[in-house]
Structure 1
Amino acid sequence: MSNEYDPGSGAISVEGRSPGAVFGLLGDESRLQILQALGETPDEPVPFAELHRRSGVDDSGRFNYHLGKLRGTFVRRTDDGYELTYAGRQVIGAIYAGLYTANATVEAIPVEGSCPVCGGGLVAEYAEETASVDCTACEDFHNDFWFPPGSLDQFEPEELPLAFDRWMCHVIRGVIDGFCYTCAGRMDGRLVVDDADEGIGGLPAHAEFECDRCGSTATTSGGAPMLYHPAVAGFLYDHGFENGRTPTWELGAVGLPTGELLSESPPRMRVQLEHDGERVVTTLEDDMSISSVERITVG
């Protein structure tokens, strides 16, 4: 066996196709019926006869024709039948999520909890595919973010504020990990210094992320990236706050992040949390990477 390095072993090959040609494949109801039939058991190949039965496309010739059109893009053939490709799964997921088929609004719902900044009341709302959780007394606690409309009817009204919050945390975690929430492209972050008294969450700088493929952007508090670092997540868990489970408005019970600039050019910031005799201190670099984390006993 040779251990010599093959310079071609890591080559990346991406074949582009016209979006018009690809999406044009979905312009027939029979093809959507076939995709939805496969979507009934997305993790299992479906034999030809069973797929024909599920699809409801009675004419065999018509079924064969449209299945053939879908193969290679949204459907693949296996030894055990037919299954969705990743693209096919995305289409089915978008249908379930109501991305193209649902339009919804949710009137203001009182949130069980209080603003971590001022102690005021919170309300959750939904309109134009955007969920928001805001303080009614101050402007310092304000979150708004895209939320799939087809997911609304999966929850009772009183459950929606927490569902919104958990979805937001899910999206932010992906953004911080470098993946665009729109196109799954690479997302890069940067630390942006704020003018006095204009920082998000009382910090002197905030985080901005941008996708280098589709241009989608996200803005968070400069303290958000530290909250998802494993060492900080462990600190929070030890003090009764579980990332992605405990509502973000309850972070005030542990303590809101505080920070100070270490330099403005390039921007660098020290951010810390302190609670019950312990402190965790992180250093954020200008690209939003965390270069150091220290957990300290105080008092």
Structure 2
Amino acid sequence: MIDESSIEDSAVTVERRSPEDVFSLLANDVRIEILHALGETPDTSLSFSELQARVDVADSGNFNYHLEKLCGSFIRKDDDYELTHAGEQIIGAMLAGTYTADATIEPILLDWNCLLCGGAMTAEYFGERAHISCQTCGKGAVFPFPPGCLTQFDRSELPAAFARWLRQLVKRTIAGFCHVCAGRVDGALARLPGGTEANPKPSQAAFECQRCGGGMRFSGATLATFHPQVESFFFEHDLHLLAGHASRAWSRLDRFDSETLETDPPRLEMTFAHGGETLTAEIMPDATIRTVQRYATDS
């Protein structure tokens, strides 16, 4: 019988190898071919002979030498061979062009204007980042997007693809995981500089990774749109959050506003109104949503 008390008291043990040791394993064409061969059918393990046939290395001894080098780090060996999680990540990064591709996409005019200045909104790509921003004031969102994914979409489809990718990055961050290293992420509302006591600038949700120090910052409105009741409000009013950056849906609202309820510690209230209904979401200092209220708008 399992002793539950020993489970609760036991520490988490993680064995680590140096990055230099692990990535040096990939400095060989045969080993890269082996990983690619397993990546062709990631849900199926392969026998030694099946894997060797895919890689097409005649010398069994030479093939086995390189295969064993990968075992334990990028390949799991049982009766047959399959990729470890690390192996899947390496193959995924190669296919996504993370290490091997570079690209530039000229600005694409979007079908809504900047909510801050009314300027033209565009989507473009350079420096391995997607840019959804205003051509007049420069405000908007900049975020990493795998260059190898660009060829999976027509040019006209890219703005929505960028927006969907950003949405999953934000969703992962809100769930508490760094989109770069998968470390733990904690959130907090952070005051923007430049406000006044009479008119403080709205706060941003700032999420910082405890492992790599990276993270994401986005508006309270962006954070609010991930709450199930807020998502339902937009969906029921035919305001599609996946059709473009969230500001596209905000631009179609009858009313869109934010109010700083307190500054120390900061609390923020977002207001969305459309089609005779109003929804408010209160955002707490730790960048969580405490209350959401939805009611008929007074006529």
User: Normalising by structure 2, what TM-score?
Assistant: 0.91
Show CA shifts across 1:206-238 (max 9, x none): 121111100112111122111100111111111
User: Normalising by structure 1, what TM-score?
Assistant: 0.91
Range 24-33 or range 88-97, more displaced: 24-33
Range 107-116 or range 36-45, more displaced: 107-116
Q: What is the alpha-carbon distance in structure 2 between the residues aligned to residue 57 and residue 245 of structure 1?
A: 47
Give the unaligned 5+ runs of structure 2: none
Q: Would you say 1:280 and 2:276 are equivalent positions? A: no
Displacement of 1:117 in angstroms is 4.5
Range 85-94 or range 239-248, more displaced: 239-248
Range 188-197 or range 90-99, more displaced: 188-197
SS across alignment from 2:61:
helix
The amino acid of 1:74's aligned partner reads F
Kept in 2, the 8 Å contact 1:270–1:281? The answer is yes
Partner of 1:259: 258
Q: What is the alpha-carbon distance in structure 2 between the residues aligned to residue 108 and residue 270 of structure 1?
A: 33
Kept in 1, the 8 Å contact 2:222–2:246? The answer is no
Q: What is the alpha-carbon distance in structure 2 between the residues aligned to residue 160 and residue 131 of structure 1?
A: 10
Partner of 2:229: 231
Displacement of 1:257 in angstroms is 4.0
Displacement of 1:67 in angstroms is 0.8
How has the CA–CA distance of structure 1 residues 197 and 23 changed in structure 2, closer, same or farther, with 3 Å as cutoff?
A: same
Displacement of 1:188 in angstroms is 1.2
How has the CA–CA distance of structure 1 residues 255 and 178 changed in structure 2, closer, same or farther, with 3 Å as cutoff?
A: farther
Show CA shifts across 1:2-29 (max 9, x none): 8x63332564221111111111111111
Partner of 2:248: 250
Q: Would you say 1:102 and 2:91 are equivalent positions? A: no
Show CA shifts across 1:167-210 (max 9, x none): 11111111122111110111111111234569xxx962112111
SS across alignment from 1:291:
strand
Kept in 1, the 8 Å contact 2:194–2:201? The answer is no
**Which of these residues, 151, 158, 167, is aligned with residue 160 of structure 1?**
158
Q: Would you say 1:222 and 2:210 are equivalent positions? A: no
How has the CA–CA distance of structure 1 residues 99 and 259 changed in structure 2, closer, same or farther, with 3 Å as cutoff?
A: same
Q: What is the alpha-carbon distance in structure 2 between the residues aligned to residue 191 and residue 138 of structure 1?
A: 24
Show CA shifts across 1:213-266 (max 9, x none): 001121111221111001111111111123334542421113564222221111
Q: Would you say 1:193 and 2:187 are equivalent positions? A: no
Kept in 1, the 8 Å contact 2:132–2:245? The answer is no
The amino acid of 2:165's aligned partner reads W
Partner of 2:47: 47
Partner of 2:22: 22
Show CA shifts across 1:34-62 (max 9, x none): 00000000111122211111112221111
Partner of 1:207: 205
Kept in 2, the 8 Å contact 1:105–1:126? The answer is yes
Kept in 1, the 8 Å contact 2:190–2:203? The answer is yes
Q: What is the alpha-carbon distance in structure 1 between the residues aligned to residue 223 and residue 272 of structure 2?
A: 13
Kept in 2, the 8 Å contact 1:203–1:258? The answer is no
Displacement of 1:101 in angstroms is 0.7
SS across alignment from 1:7:
helix
Report % sequence identity. Answer: 42
How has the CA–CA distance of structure 1 residues 240 and 89 changed in structure 2, closer, same or farther, with 3 Å as cutoff?
A: same
Give the unaligned 5+ runs of structure 1: none
How has the CA–CA distance of structure 1 residues 17 and 257 changed in structure 2, closer, same or farther, with 3 Å as cutoff?
A: farther
Displacement of 1:84 in angstroms is 0.3
Partner of 2:69: 69
Over the aligned positions, Cα root-mean-square deviation in angstroms equals 2.1
SS across alignment from 1:8:
helix
The amino acid of 1:5's aligned partner reads E
Kept in 2, the 8 Å contact 1:129–1:149? The answer is yes
After the TM superposition, which parts of structure 1 deviate over 4 Å for at least 4 consecutive aligned residues?
116-119, 195-198
